Amino acid sequence: MKALRVTLATLFIFAPLQVGCNRKQTVQEKTAAPSSEGAVQQQQGAQPDGDARALFDRGMDAYRHNRDDEAVEDFKRTVEADPDFAEGFYRLGLAYNVTRQTDEADKAFEQGVKAFEKLTKQDPKNSDAYYFLGLCYEKLGKYDEAVKALKEAVKNSPTENDDKYFELAQAHYKLAQYDESVRALNKTLEINPDYFPAQELLEQARSGATRVEEFRKHQEQLRKQQTGNTNSNANNSGNGANTNSGARSKSNTAPPT
């Protein structure tokens, strides 16, 4: 099964979602509302440092208005002022990405993973913390971990959330787990029928699921064919041996002259 999964991932993800530096190319910036960190912190009975909160809000304003270098500096100062401000690391990673500082972005997302994991350990039912943890893992390309985190986000969400199901669907899609992606996307569209990115991804996921099924059928046909050839060769070999044995038997029992 592991070998099949690797093969599927190699063969079938030929049309992945475009995830570039441009903020317009990803849904995550839209879905991760700037007020979410406040909700995460309040569940812990703690609020971000006042200065850090002000810097974070400034960074969000700069980011929304394409002042990307300014956003980087504000988010850097945010996490310096409050190292436990988990969403600050996530937003810093996004700002680094749009300024094409990919190495720095990865470092910020890794710090985000640590900060959000800390929150989930403090409160194992913190849906928003799991959600942002999943987003950080997605940005790092760690889709197995993203799936685990986003499943917890969905499971523990107080209300059904289309964004959380959509991100779960994307993570499944990246792993070529198309059936799981389709299920999550159907749930997304059940909650929000007008979610256009989900509609688009659903077509791709269904196409991927069809390709996987055709591939598996082809592999099964090859297996049966190989099994049949092996049995046929074994039978032919046995028949040849019986013929030779019979010939030797006749020779040995011939009467003397």
**In terms of C-beta density within 10 A (0-12 exposed, 13-18 middle, 19 or more buried), how is residue 140 classed?**
middle
Q: Please tell me the pTM assigned to this model.
A: 0.73
**Region at 145 (left for phi over 0; alpha for psi -120 to 50; beta for the rest):** alpha
User: What pLDDT score was predicted for residue 141?
Assistant: 97
Residue 24 has pLDDT above 80, yes or no: no
User: What pLDDT score was predicted for residue 218?
Assistant: 77
Token couple for 30: 């839209």
Q: Which residue has the tokens 């749930």?
A: 187
User: What pLDDT score was predicted for residue 227?
Assistant: 78
Sorting pLDDT into bands at 50, 70 and 90, what band is 46?
A: low
- The C-alpha atoms of residue 9 and residue 12 are separated, in whole angstroms, by 6
Sign of the alpha-carbon dihedral angle for 174, 179, 183, 186: positive
- Express as a percent the part of the chain with pLDDT over 90: 61
Can you tell me whether residue 192 is helix, strand or coil?
coil
How does pLDDT run across 85-122, given as a tens digit for each residue?
999 999 999 999 999 999 999 999 999 999 999 999 99
Sign of the alpha-carbon dihedral angle for 199, 202, 204, 210: negative
